[in-house]
């Protein structure tokens, strides 16, 4: 009876937060009827993949695409600087729902919604609480940065989905290994502990992280960071089980096989998503090797030599990208949403917005309470690990740090706050952990403090109210300009 009740509660929680996320992401998804920010690159690339099998150049498209006129597409291959997975997903949505705004934004809204579900279920399992799983799902469902990115056909929401899926799969691998360790006490299996066998969840996690890398190369940061993190956790689990040679066992049975699997699976998945580039003669740079015999990495087959040369060019482009942009931001300010990105702005003449000076605006600012209190939770996680060896907070915070810190050395180039959408699930998970630590203090041995629980409840009410307040500027609704201006809390907004 108790197990059944537990499962029903989990089902209701997961259904509720997923439905909320879907409503906020799919409602009026076709608005605005225009290419928003970098949609101009990725939706046109996706359409080209559908019609020609490769990404063609678009010439002087002056808004024709958004009006349903695709005649600017040329047969010459376009020089693109990101891999294909995200654009293939956008193309899948367009294949099913047509070449309009709903079609090209569908895949992002779907995977953004699924990310909320994964976070809710993962935190329920980690925290051993349906309540706190629901809190994590709620916070992600109503965060503005994640909503805006889920409703916009650019790459970062796909990257976020595959990163979170990989993180969740690595947790499943860890829980499976822990069950094996607990089933084999140290005094029955010797100092090395039992063999775990083929770690299928880890292999699936690597496939997911390979797809993340196939969306953007920054997926490699997560691959390296997560694999090191979970090998360290595996070593700690072996030590906790009492195995005498826990460090050697973790190195030989977890780290080395994990490294081998990584260097095999990640490149294999990454190269596989370039299949259409290999298969079409019109793709940019496809015939480079034939035109440059004896150049490049000569020991590679010609197609791979061409791909390698293309990637060297892409790397140089990203490394040297320093084109001033009015909405670029220093990554140091991402955690407090210091300089959010203006995705769309248009003045409108609509009586329905109750004002003469009306606008439609989309700004990718996250819910300030989630991010600002999330920073405090991040600091708490680091502090508790250093002072009390509390590992859970720092493990959850690691995702935020991996999403954030690698960008600091590239602060000189043109980068934007919306890259921080990969941070949102981990900020939310760390914040949920911090709220749980606050509401269920150690001296109550896991029981809820009535006063502290009320404080957490009022905090969540404030977060929900703030999301309702910001929702019009996350979705481009027609509003009086004075209403838009009262959302500008910092001069940098």
**Are 290 and 369 contained in the same domain?**
no
Say whether 337 sits in a helix, a strand or coil.
coil
**Are 295 and 369 contained in the same domain?**
no
Which residue, 292, 320, 348, sits at the end of a domain? 320
**Are 384 and 296 contained in the same domain?**
no
Which residue, 285, 301, 320, sits at the end of a domain? 320
- For residue 284, tell me if it sits in a domain: yes
**Are 304 and 367 contained in the same domain?**
no
Number of separate domains in the chain: 2
Domain range holding 293? 276-320
Rounded CA gap, 233 and 260, in Å? 18
**Are 28 and 102 contained in the same domain?**
yes
**Are 307 and 394 contained in the same domain?**
no
Q: State residue 351's pLDDT score.
A: 64
**Helix, strand and coil percent figures for the chain, each rounded to 5:** 65, 5, 30
The distance from CA 270 to its chain's CA centroid, rounded to whole angstroms, is: 18
- For residue 210, tell me if it sits in a domain: no
**DSSP single-letter state for residue 358:** E
Say whether 361 sits in a helix, a strand or coil.
strand
- For residue 201, tell me if it sits in a domain: no
Q: Assign residue 339 a region: left if phi > 0, alpha if psi is -120 to 50, beta otherwise? A: beta
Question: What is the full DSSP assignment across 241-262?
Answer: TT-TTHHHHHIIIIIHHHHHHH
Rounded CA gap, 384 and 115, in Å? 28
**Are 311 and 354 contained in the same domain?**
no
**Are 286 and 392 contained in the same domain?**
no
- For residue 459, tell me if it sits in a domain: yes
- For residue 260, tell me if it sits in a domain: no
Question: Can you say whether the dihedral through the CA atoms of 319, 324, 325, 328 is positive or negative?
Answer: positive
CA distances from 422 to 221, 285, 399 (A): 12, 31, 9
**Are 312 and 353 contained in the same domain?**
no
- Give the CA radius of gyration of the chain: 24
- For residue 49, tell me if it sits in a domain: yes
Answer yes or no: pTM beyond 0.85: yes
- For residue 237, tell me if it sits in a domain: no
- For residue 443, tell me if it sits in a domain: yes
Which residue, 320, 337, 353, sits at the end of a domain? 320
Could you give the count of Cα atoms lying within 13 Å of 453 in the half-sphere of its Cβ?
9
Q: State residue 1's pLDDT score.
A: 45
**Are 297 and 389 contained in the same domain?**
no
**Are 8 and 138 contained in the same domain?**
yes
**Are 337 and 413 contained in the same domain?**
yes
Q: State residue 355's pLDDT score.
A: 64
pLDDT tens series, the chain, 493 aa: 444 555 788 899 999 999 999 999 999 999 998 899 888 889 999 999 999 888 888 876 667 888 888 878 888 888 888 899 999 999 999 999 999 999 999 999 999 999 999 999 999 999 999 999 999 999 999 999 999 999 999 999 999 999 999 999 999 999 999 999 988 887 777 788 888 889 999 999 999 999 999 999 999 999 999 999 999 999 999 999 889 899 999 999 999 999 999 999 999 999 999 999 898 888 888 888 888 888 888 888 888 988 898 888 888 887 776 677 777 788 888 899 998 988 898 888 766 676 668 888 999 999 999 999 999 999 999 999 998 888 999 999 999 999 999 988 887 777 888 899 999 999 999 999 999 999 998 888 778 889 999 999 999 999 999 999 999 999 999 888 888 888 888 888 8
Q: Go through 124-151 and write b for each residue having 16 or more CB atoms within 10 A of its CB, e for each that does not.
A: bebbebbebbbbbbbbbbbbbbbbbbbb
Could you give the count of Cα atoms lying within 13 Å of 346 in the half-sphere of its Cβ?
17
34 Cβ contact partners less than 8 Å away, ≥ 6 residues apart: 63, 66, 101, 344, 346
Question: Can you say whether the dihedral through the CA atoms of 487, 106, 346, 41 is positive or negative?
Answer: positive
């Amino acid at each position: 009876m108790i197990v059944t009740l537990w499962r029903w509660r989990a089902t209701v929680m997961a259904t509720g937060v997923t439905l909320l996320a879907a409503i906020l992401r799919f409602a009026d998804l076709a608005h605005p009827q225009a290419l928003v920010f970098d949609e101009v690159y990725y939706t046109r690339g996706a359409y080209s993949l559908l019609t020609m099998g490769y990404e063609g150049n678009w010439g002087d498209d002056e808004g024709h695409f958004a009006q349903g006129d695709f005649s600017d597409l040329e047969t010459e291959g376009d020089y693109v600087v990101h891999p294909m997975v995200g654009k293939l997903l956008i193309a899948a949505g367009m294949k099913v729902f047509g070449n309009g705004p709903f079609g090209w934004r569908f895949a992002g809204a779907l995977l953004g919604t699924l990310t909320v579900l994964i976070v809710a279920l993962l935190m329920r399992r980690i925290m051993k609480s349906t309540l706190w799983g629901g809190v994590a799902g709620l916070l992600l469902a109503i965060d503005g940065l994640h909503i805006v990115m889920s409703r916009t056909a650019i790459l970062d929401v796909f990257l976020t989905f595959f990163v979170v899926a990989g993180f969740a799969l690595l947790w499943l691998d860890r829980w499976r290994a822990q069950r094996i360790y607990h089933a084999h006490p140290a005094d029955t299996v010797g100092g090395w502990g039992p063999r775990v066998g083929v770690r299928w969840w880890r292999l699936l996690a690597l496939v997911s992280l390979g797809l993340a890398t196939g969306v953007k190369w920054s997926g490699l940061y997560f691959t390296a960071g997560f694999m090191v993190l979970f090998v360290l956790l595996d070593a700690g689990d072996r030590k906790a089980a009492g195995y005498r040679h826990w460090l050697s066992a973790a190195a030989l049975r977890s780290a080395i096989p994990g490294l081998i699997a990584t260097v095999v699976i990640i490149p294999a998945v990454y190269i596989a998503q370039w299949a259409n580039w290999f298969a079409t003669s019109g793709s940019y740079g496809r015939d480079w090797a034939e035109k440059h015999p004896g150049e490049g990495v000569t020991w590679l087959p010609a197609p791979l030599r061409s791909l390698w040369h293309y990637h060297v060019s892409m790397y140089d482009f990203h490394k040297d990208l320093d084109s001033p942009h009015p909405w670029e931001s220093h990554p140091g300010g991402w955690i407090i949403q210091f300089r959010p990105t203006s995705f769309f702005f248009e003045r409108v003449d609509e009586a329905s917005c109750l004002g003469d000076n009306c606008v439609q605006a989309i700004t990718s600012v996250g819910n300030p309470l989630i991010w600002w209190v999330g920073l405090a939770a991040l600091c708490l996680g680091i502090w508790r690990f250093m002072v009390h060896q509390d590992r859970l907070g720092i493990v959850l915070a690691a995702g935020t740090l991996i999403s954030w810190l690698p960008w600091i050395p590239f602060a000189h180039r043109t980068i934007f706050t919306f890259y921080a959408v990969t941070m949102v699930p981990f900020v939310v998970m760390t914040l949920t952990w911090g709220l749980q630590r606050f509401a269920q203090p150690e001296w109550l041995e896991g029981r809820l403090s009535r006063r502290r629980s009320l404080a957490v409840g009022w905090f969540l009410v404030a977060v929900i109210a703030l999301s309702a307040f910001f929702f019009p500027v996350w979705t481009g609704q027609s509003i009086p300009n004075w209403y838009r201006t009262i959302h500008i809390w910092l001069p940098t907004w």
